Chain A
């Protein structure tokens, strides 16, 4: 048997372009043949030489071989990446994990914070097939409402519900509250969600209440990304290998942990 996991070999590549989206988010584009074949929901591991290697959702993957990721500056590795310039070298492994199942019909996206990144990629792919595409985007403030202009262009302004916790843009409420208001009025065939796990837990509860199929993309600590080290486990699942996308049924199986606990770098359970 061949020992290679094709996508797991580290490749180095030059950053082609960098675009500042907001104060805290930059989009990085680079060439990588394997990741260019990625589907919405999949992630890659990005190596910042000498600093760290971090998991990032794939924001876009094009036929010309270019790949984009959006990165929010939160700590050491993401800051080091933000300080890089076009032409500098990074490493990539992937794509890893499963992808969203693209459903036809009336589709609803529920994104929180950086959770919009994979959902924007999915929206671009799903738009031509969906009979209706509604996007709920939630964030703490207007500055954290990433890619809102592009989402409004893609879905049509009337199909975008933006909500901020401080009311600086859209409605002043949580994304899950916007969701409940919408579901009282309208029926959907599918909900896709990504964002803070507490938010996704509420979205799951609502999806169950209104009997709508759901898929959620989870975040856990990633080290190996190939299902070996155990850093990313939730219940019986490994988020890197069995996920990061899980459906309602799977999430209900791990409901003791989903939205409640994650594991820290030492493997201890910590509550959200």
Chain B
């Protein structure tokens, strides 16, 4: 049966299918999350939310390059106190797990925001320790194993919901960072966030993004993301959520074979719409059936046999 083939248990969360909305793509309000679920997502991750409201950077905040998008939104968000209302509302209307993405400028901030999100009903938390373009948070935390461990331990001690940690590819060894995160108690690892990038306009010689530097997403980063998942799978036992450039079932299968237990989709929503989730899910189901697998879990990490 189709349902059985696609279900996954991700660190205790039951997903009807292994596709999830990536953080920062829409994800501001309960209603938009609802429309993503209507498109077929098995779980949703909210926009990253912090302790205080943030307006983000000046436009241009998104620029298209030949093989993807570079964005420097600057983590615009209403702050956790205002966001709690959206979480409560989302919990009322969504029939899939709701994961709240959290960022902070200190371990205390990560813990406070996580606690408020969990109390409001988040089914799990995803710590954004990998945003490449905001100073003193994001990848500045995710690049340093000692600080990262402290953040995770503090959050784990504060909430009793599963804690995912979203890793940055902008490091020398993502497997080292993954190991530190797993040791500190992360229940799952999301790989990867965007890759530091920029675009310059030849006519004016100006960097295009308001913030000059941003993060690359989309098909350009898929091979890098697959390698990251592969590396992490070799080193740690916690489930991995693959993310980066997924737009088709083939892309998704590649991530499962590399070691991912679920996948997140972001940029492809701009090219298609939320229906991308259903298309990927159907293709994945057909693939599993054709190959004679009873559940998607059976292909996780298969490429490591060789």
* A residues apposed to B, CB below 8 Å: 1-5, 8-10, 12, 45, 47, 49-54, 89, 91, 93, 223-231, 233, 235-236, 238, 263-268
Given A227-B269, A227-B273, the answer on whether A10 and B247 have CB atoms closer than 8 Å is no
Check A91 against B76 for contact (C-beta < 8 Å): no
Check B61 against A49 for contact (C-beta < 8 Å): no
A-B contact pairs, 19 of them (CB 8 A): A3-B219, A3-B271, A89-B203, A227-B26, A227-B273, A228-B69, A228-B266, A228-B269, A229-B24, A230-B26, A230-B47, A233-B26, A233-B29, A236-B32, A236-B34, A238-B26, A266-B53, A266-B76, A267-B28
Distance from A268 Cβ to chain B, minimum over Cβ atoms (Å): 4
Distance from A185 Cβ to chain B, minimum over Cβ atoms (Å): 40
Task: Give the complex CA separation of A52 and B269 in angstroms.
Answer: 25
On chain B, the residues within 8 Å of A10 by CB distance are: 60, 63-64, 201, 208
Check A52 against B59 for contact (C-beta < 8 Å): yes
Check B204 against A229 for contact (C-beta < 8 Å): no
Q: Looking across the interface, which residue of chain A has its beta carbon closest to that of B73?
A: A229
CB of B146 within 8 Å of the partner chain: no
Check B270 against A226 for contact (C-beta < 8 Å): yes
Check A224 against B270 for contact (C-beta < 8 Å): yes
Known: A53-B61, A230-B26. 13 other contacts (CB 8 A): A1-B272, A3-B218, A3-B219, A8-B64, A9-B64, A10-B60, A12-B203, A226-B270, A230-B29, A264-B55, A265-B76, A266-B79, A267-B28
CB of B35 within 8 Å of the partner chain: yes
The main secondary structure of chain A at its interface with chain B is loop
- Number of residues in B with C-beta < 8 Å to the partner? 50
On chain B, the residues within 8 Å of A228 by CB distance are: 25-26, 62, 69, 266-267, 269-270
* B residues apposed to A, CB below 8 Å: 24-29, 31-32, 34-35, 47, 53-56, 58-64, 67-69, 71, 73, 76-79, 82, 201, 203-204, 206, 208, 210, 218-219, 247-248, 266-273
**Which 8 pairs across A and B sit closest by C-beta, in order of nearness?**
A53-B59, A265-B55, A266-B53, A268-B78, A12-B203, A230-B28, A224-B62, A53-B60
Distance from A3 Cβ to chain B, minimum over Cβ atoms (Å): 5
Given A1-B271, A227-B269, the answer on whether A266 and B28 have CB atoms closer than 8 Å is no
